[in-house]
Amino acid sequence: MGDLDIITIVIIAANVIISYKGYGDFSFFEKYKFQVGPIQRGEKIRMFSSGFLHVDTQHLLFNMLTLYFFSSVIINYLGQFNFIIIYFASLLFGSLLSLYFHKNEYYYSAVGASGAVTGILYSAILLQPDMSLMLFFIPIPIPAYIFGIGYLLYSIYGMKNKVGNIGHDAHFGGAIGGYAITLILSPWLFQTNLLMIGLLAIPIVLLFVLKKAGKM
């Protein structure tokens, strides 16, 4: 993990440049952030542009480090072109799920690459489920699939209880995008990793069961 491919460098550079432009230019930030009202009026570009803006350097750094660690897994298995497809599909799925959950909140807004990056994380776990992760606050390796499932369960909790100023639904939508597109691009996973496909589907199914039951 962590070999820096040219396409990863380009995406990180775009995030850094556009985010820093947004830090110092309020009107630029306002024009390109995710906001329900303007998107419903037709400003669909915000569904993508918001994924390159961040609220601060810590937010940007966390997302870019996660991207750095997991992008090489997908590029090694599926190539650069498919990595780009997964990245932007995850970004779009994150925006679509946010729009779905907040469609009646005209002023709801969000920024960040978290949806795209969570999609990359989920895709990498599907492709290489025996990966282990070392988290900053837990000094022992955690199986990647445990982290992925736990992260989405926490996202459901965060969406339900509006925890923090975090777009939990964008994270979740991104994970769904990364999961679905990876399976479309890699049907061989159904032969080799069927158990993992089932385990990673649990929080996704749970979210929609809760939504249908009116619990979200």
The whole-number pLDDT of residue 135 equals: 65
Residue 37 CA to residue 55 CA, distance in Å, equals: 20
The whole-number pLDDT of residue 153 equals: 87
Q: Is the pLDDT of residue 165 over 60?
A: no
Give 69-90 pLDDT, tens digit per residue: 899 999 999 999 999 999 999 9
Pick the residue with more confidence: 12 or 131? Answer: 12
Give the CA diameter of the chain: 50
Q: What is the mean pLDDT of residues 9-14?
A: 96
In a domain, 152, yes or no: yes
| Two tokens, residue 12 | 């990180």
Confidence class for position 2, pLDDT limits 50, 70, 90: very low
DSSP assignment of 162-209 equals T-TT--HHHHHHHHHHHHHHHHHH-TTHHHH-HHHHHHHHHHHHHHHH
Tell me the residue range of the domain where 158 lies: 6-212
In a domain, 1, yes or no: no
Give 29-61 pLDDT, tens digit per residue: 999 999 999 999 999 999 999 999 998 898 899
Instruction: Please give the tally of structural domains in the chain.
Output: 1
**Mean pLDDT highest for which of 44-48, 136-140, 159-163?**
44-48
The whole-number pLDDT of residue 69 equals: 86
pTM of the model: 0.90
Q: What is the CATH number of the domain that holds 60?
A: 1.20.1540.10
Q: 50 near 112, Cβ under 8 Å?
A: yes
In a domain, 21, yes or no: yes
In a domain, 173, yes or no: yes
